[in-house]
Amino acid sequence: MNSRKPFIAGNWKMYKTCSEAVETAGKLVKLLSQTSDVDIMIAPAYIALAQVHEAVKGSCVMLGAQNLFWEKKGAYTGEISPEMIVSAGCTYIIIGHSERRQYFGETNETVNKKIKAAISYNLKPVFCIGESEKEREANDTFNVLDKQVKIGLEGLSQDNMQNVTLAYEPVWAIGTGKTASSEQAQEVHLFLRNLIEKLFGENIAESIRILYGGSVKPENIAELMTMPDVDGALVGGASLDADKFMRIVKFKTVG
Ligand code: 13P
């Protein structure tokens, strides 16, 4: 048994108005007890962060944002700074999601800048990586991940790494209903842990949490969590429903 605390995070993507977000967060708080043996985070859209923070304050549900811009402040219309995210009550920040890479031109280099900016404001990055279907079919999965991790984490110290979570999200499994098998997830997670060991040493490799993301549901979470290197999940669609998300969080007791 390892000593890593399981971590279940919900990425709400571009879903829910402010009032819908507050309603779902309120339901979730009611369904969960005040403390949990699992770390729980939800990441609503920017616009709902401050209100959702009020709804989850004092509960075991932590708040995260889905993106940031690395500059401190300035004339960057439409962007949000790390300080603004902290001021809305966030402790976590999702960085490098494949949808941002795919639709908004994020690269390994910009992801690296974002991770560094997040860390300098004590935000905890949930750093997303993953291969496309084409890359998997071309047997390129490990090369792609190697590059994403090495560039994404370039220049970070061991100390910085203590606040980083990795999220392995194979692009072909996101929103498709096609979950990676638990063996496929384990194979990649072990590869990632070994890579982290090479880059940052044994202690960081042993303590870093590696989440799996891609069509996680109440029905498949328990099986995924039996894998020794799967420390939790980054959940999209199934996190939008408080009851479903609660069943994922309580994977040990609820079927
Ligand atoms: P789904 O759970 O909807 O497949 O989304 C996964 C994801 O992208 C989480 O960040």
pLDDT digit string, tens, across residues 62-83: 999 999 999 999 999 999 999 9
Note the pLDDT of residue 111: 98
* Cβ neighbours around 164 below 10 Å, total: 22
Place of tokens 């960057």: 76
Note the pLDDT of residue 93: 98
CA dist 37 → 6, 32, 76, 252 (Å):
8, 11, 40, 10
pLDDT digit string, tens, across residues 125-151: 999 999 999 999 999 999 999 999 999
Note the pLDDT of residue 1: 66
Helices (H) and strands (E) in the chain, counts: 12, 8
Task: Tell me the two tokens of residue 219.
Answer: 């029905």
* Ligand 1 atom, smallest distance to 234 CA: 9
- Indicate which residue's Cα is closest to atom 2 of ligand 1: 236
Is the model's pLDDT at 253 over the cut of 90?
Answer: no
Distance 98 CA to ligand 1 centre (A): 10
* Ligand 1 atom, smallest distance to 215 CA: 4
Is the model's pLDDT at 255 over the cut of 60?
Answer: no
Tell me the percentage of the chain whose pLDDT exceeds 90. 93
Mean pLDDT of the chain: 96
Distance 233 CA to ligand 1 centre (A): 9
Note the pLDDT of residue 254: 61
169 is catalytic: yes
pLDDT digit string, tens, across residues 23-56: 999 999 999 987 789 999 999 999 999 999 999 9
The contacts of residue 45 (CB under 8 Å, 6+ apart) are 12, 13, 14, 15, 16, 21, 66
Catalytic site residue from 97, 99, 131, 135: 97
Q: What is the DSSP letter of 136?
A: H
Ligand 1 pocket (Cβ < 6 Å) reads: 11, 97, 169, 174-175, 213-216, 234-238
106 is catalytic: no
* Ligand 1 atom, smallest distance to 174 CA: 4
Of 129, 169, 241, which is best to mutate to test ligand 1, by the most ligand atoms within 8 angstroms of its C-beta?
169
Instruction: Give the domains, in start order, of the chain with CATH numbers.
Output: 7-249 (3.20.20.70)
